[in-house]
């Protein structure tokens, strides 16, 4: 969540991520953190998030050798999560 908030500070949809972070992640059996948050986005906001992630992948996710770097793999994972919703 922090990664998204840090990289998308200027976007209109960021308020939803901050709200979800404030509520906190899902916890199972009152003690096991899941790392998952509920974020309420419209279809258009989802499209903007995916577009922003794609741009971020091109800007920060590819190394000098044109290979996906560690940040790129993190971004790809996020893109997959948003595509599955």
pLDDT computed for residue 85 by the predictor: 59
The domains of the chain are located at 2-83
What is the chain's Cα-based Rg? 14
Q: Which residues of 4-43 are buried (b: 16+ CB within 10 A; e: fewer)?
A: beebbeebebbebbeebeeeeeeeeeeeeeeeebebebee
pLDDT in tens, 50-68: 999 999 999 999 999 999 9
Q: Extract long-range pairs of 34-41: CB within 8 Å, 24+ residues apart.
A: 37/1, 40/16, 41/13, 41/16
The band of 69, judged by pLDDT with boundaries at 50, 70 and 90, is very high
């Amino acid at each position: 969540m922090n990664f998204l908030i840090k990289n998308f500070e200027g976007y209109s949809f960021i308020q939803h991520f901050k709200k979800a972070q404030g509520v906190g992640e899902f916890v199972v059996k009152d003690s096991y953190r899941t790392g998952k948050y509920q974020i309420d986005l419209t279809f258009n906001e989802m499209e903007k998030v995916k577009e922003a992630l794609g741009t971020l992948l091109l800007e920060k996710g590819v190394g000098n050798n044109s290979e996906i770097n560690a940040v790129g793999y993190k971004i790809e994972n996020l893109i997959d999560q948003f595509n599955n919703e």
